């Protein structure tokens, strides 16, 4: 029998892949804890929690047992006209953790759709109120997903290039890198003078796909406060940052001005099943609450609020609040700070930074985001049993919260080994 890679190549088109230059996929047979195991049984430490999802470890028995039990009671039911215990229990638990201005949850399938829903809600909110606000605002280099609305507010041309002529009307502003972003505020004052901006879509504190680019919290706060004063809805894309990544449950908790809508996915279901949530304030919900049917929000997905996904999310949230997971988050944050101190003055390091469980560093070498050097770095880590996905010259770590100090040190040592040959 052919191996997985050979069988895969016959029929499968992979994401973010130019198949002519990248023809071989590594077959993964199983996963447990912080490890992925390939067809030969070789183990790899999952240093990025499989795109920031499996934060409590792969195949976590607490979560899988809960989902297995739910599977035998209710697997799937239409969520239009019906409801069920997993969705209701999840809404109660999640709203107790979200910023207190959040009131309602809308379920969808993934991070892109969570943002898509938020954009549509924001635009229709103004439409229902008789306000002509049709433009959106976003940060440069942001990434919010691959559906058309989410893609429109993203600023990475490698993803969006062929589709830019079909995008929504979006204005972009730079990310605040200091606490006094006067130039950005001046640009905003001019944009706000047109009175047609419906919403601002932003990744709070950390831009993930922009190679873990950090923002200055005080600078971001000034931007959010100005927009709030001018009636612009604030959409926080916490798909990556949510559920403990920045040290608090949600990055927005570290800011005074709270968003009107929040987008959640990835770690929401602990990497077990796909699901997303868009939360909103009561004010937004009331703009759709009407005797006029057309003012309702006519958006839906077949697997909206799937009972198994809701159960996985609820179990994950329970783990997030446990002393063990919170201690793990603090341990990782502390180890990252120590590693940063160890390497930040190395001549091969242009910049090193950490925020919560996120560590990122730029090599002082210039090469393209998806070029040969990036592939060389990827193979370097895999050869040492470490799964990392460098973004250009940025190497980043976002490990499961259950990782040990020994396993973290294996990741750190594999990064330091790069300095010997880069």
Q: What is the pLDDT of residues 284-294, one digit of tens each?
A: 999 999 999 99
Per the structure, the count of domains in the chain is: 2
Asked if pLDDT for residue 161 goes beyond 80, the answer is no
Average pLDDT over residues 256-270: 98
Cβ atoms of 56 and 243 closer than 8 Å: no
Asked if pLDDT for residue 18 goes beyond 90, the answer is no
Distance CA 164, CA 236 (A): 23
Question: To 10 degrees, what angle do helices 307-320 and 61-71 make?
Answer: 150
| Average pLDDT in the chain | 96
Token readout for 125 is: 């909110």
Average pLDDT over residues 276-285: 98
* The predicted structure's pLDDT at residue 267: 98
* The predicted structure's pLDDT at residue 327: 98
* The predicted structure's pLDDT at residue 1: 59
User: What CATH number should be reported for the domain holding residue 374?
Assistant: 3.90.1150.10
Are 352 and 407 in a shared domain? yes
- Cα–Cα distance list, 421 to 19, 41, 65, 98, 395 (Å): 28, 28, 46, 45, 15
Handedness of CA 56, 60, 65, 67 (dihedral sign): positive
Cβ atoms of 123 and 200 closer than 8 Å: no
* The predicted structure's pLDDT at residue 298: 96
Task: List, edge to edge, every strand of the sheet that includes 233-237.
Answer: 102-108, 276-281, 261-264, 233-237, 197-202, 135-139, 170-173
Are 88 and 49 in a shared domain? no
Q: Among residues of the chain, what percentage have pLDDT more than 90?
A: 91
* The predicted structure's pLDDT at residue 196: 97
Q: What is the pLDDT of residues 111-143, one digit of tens each?
A: 999 999 999 999 999 999 999 999 999 999 999
Helix, strand, or coil here: 294? helix
Cβ atoms of 377 and 307 closer than 8 Å: no
Handedness of CA 334, 336, 338, 340 (dihedral sign): negative
Asked if pLDDT for residue 370 goes beyond 70, the answer is no
Residue 58: what are its φ and ψ, rounded to 5°? -70, 145
Least confident of 19-33, 99-113, 195-209, 254-268: 19-33
Per the DSSP assignment, residues forming a β-bridge with 353 are 360
Token readout for 298 is: 């006519």
CB burial class (10 A; 0-12, 13-18, 19+) of residue 369?
middle
Q: What is the pLDDT of residues 387-411, one digit of tens each?
A: 999 998 999 999 999 999 999 999 9
Are 233 and 332 in a shared domain? no
* The predicted structure's pLDDT at residue 86: 98
Are 384 and 246 in a shared domain? no
* Range of the structural domain that residue 125 is part of: 64-320
Are 20 and 71 in a shared domain? no
User: What CATH number should be reported for the domain holding residue 316?
Assistant: 3.40.640.10
* The predicted structure's pLDDT at residue 374: 85
Going by pLDDT thresholds of 50, 70 and 90, the confidence category of residue 359 is very high
Strand stretches in 120-270, DSSP E: 135-139, 170-173, 197-202, 206-207, 213-214, 233-237, 261-264
* The predicted structure's pLDDT at residue 22: 81
Point out the domain boundary residue: 320, 341, 359.
320
* The predicted structure's pLDDT at residue 314: 98
Q: Is the entire prediction scored with pTM above 0.85? A: yes
Are 41 and 149 in a shared domain? no
Are 209 and 249 in a shared domain? yes
Are 334 and 227 in a shared domain? no
Q: What is the largest CA-CA distance in the chain?
A: 68
Least confident of 147-151, 261-265, 395-399: 147-151
Asked if pLDDT for residue 51 goes beyond 80, the answer is yes
Task: List, edge to edge, every strand of the sheet that includes 386-387.
Answer: 28-32, 35-38, 43-46, 386-387
* The predicted structure's pLDDT at residue 23: 76
- Residue 144 half-sphere exposure, CB side, CA atoms within 13 Å? 31
Average pLDDT over residues 267-282: 98
Asked if pLDDT for residue 295 goes beyond 90, the answer is yes
Q: What angle do CA 91, 96, 97 make, to 5 degrees?
A: 105
* The predicted structure's pLDDT at residue 157: 66
Are 233 and 252 in a shared domain? yes
Cβ atoms of 399 and 336 closer than 8 Å: no
Point out the domain boundary residue: 281, 304, 320.
320
Find all residues with CB under 8 Å of 322, minimum gap 6, and list them: none
Are 21 and 149 in a shared domain? no
Are 44 and 167 in a shared domain? no
* The predicted structure's pLDDT at residue 392: 87
* The predicted structure's pLDDT at residue 320: 98
* The predicted structure's pLDDT at residue 375: 87
Point out the domain boundary residue: 272, 287, 320.
320
Q: What is the pLDDT of residues 88-97, one digit of tens each?
A: 999 999 999 9
Are 91 and 185 in a shared domain? yes
């Amino acid at each position: 029998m052919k191996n997985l890679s050979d069988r895969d190549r016959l029929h499968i088109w992979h994401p973010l892949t130019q198949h002519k230059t990248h023809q071989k996929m590594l077959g993964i047979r199983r996963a447990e804890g912080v490890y992925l195991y390939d067809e030969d049984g070789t183990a790899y430490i999952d240093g990025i929690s499989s795109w920031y999802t499996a934060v409590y470890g792969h195949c976590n028995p607490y979560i899988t047992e809960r989902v297995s039990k739910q599977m035998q009671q209710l697997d799937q039911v239409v969520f239009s006209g019906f409801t069920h215990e997993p969705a209701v229990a999840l809404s109660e638990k999640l709203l107790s953790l979200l910023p207190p201005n959040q009131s309602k949850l809308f379920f969808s399938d993934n991070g892109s759709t969570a943002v898509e829903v938020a954009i549509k809600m924001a635009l229709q909110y103004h439409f229902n109120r008789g306000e002509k606000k049709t433009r959106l605002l976003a940060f440069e280099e942001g990434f919010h997903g691959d559906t058309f609305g989410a893609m429109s507010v993203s600023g990475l041309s490698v993803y969006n290039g062929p589709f830019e002529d079909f995008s929504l009307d979006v204005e972009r502003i730079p990310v605040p890198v200091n606490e006094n972003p006067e130039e950005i505020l001046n640009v905003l004052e001019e944009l706000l003078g047109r009175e047609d901006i419906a919403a601002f879509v932003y990744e709070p504190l950390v831009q993930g796909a922009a190679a873990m680019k950090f923002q200055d919290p005080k600078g971001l706060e000034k931007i959010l406060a100005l927009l709030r004063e001018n009636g612009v809805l604030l959409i926080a894309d916490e798909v990556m940052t949510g559920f403990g990544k920045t040290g608090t449950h949600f990055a927005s908790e570290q800011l005074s001005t709270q968003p009107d809508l929040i987008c959640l996915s990835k770690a929401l279901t602990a990497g077990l099943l796909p699901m997303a949530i868009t939360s909103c304030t009561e004010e937004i919900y009331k703009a759709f609450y009407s005797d006029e049917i057309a003012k309702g929000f006519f958006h839906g997905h077949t697997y909206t609020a799937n009972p198994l996904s809701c159960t996985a999310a609820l179990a994950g949230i329970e783990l997030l609040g446990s002393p063990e997971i919170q201690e793990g988050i603090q341990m990782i944050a502390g180890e990252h700070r120590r590693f940063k101190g160890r390497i930040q003055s190395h001549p091969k390091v242009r910049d090193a930074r950490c925020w919560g469980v996120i560590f990122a560093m730029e090599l002082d070498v210039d090469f393209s985001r998806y070029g040969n050097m990036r592939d060389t770095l990827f193979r370097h880590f895999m050869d040492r049993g470490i799964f990392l996905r460098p973004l250009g010259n940025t190497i980043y770590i976002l490990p499961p919260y259950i990782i040990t100090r020994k396993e973290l040190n294996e990741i750190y040592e594999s990064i330091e080994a790069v300095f010997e040959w880069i």
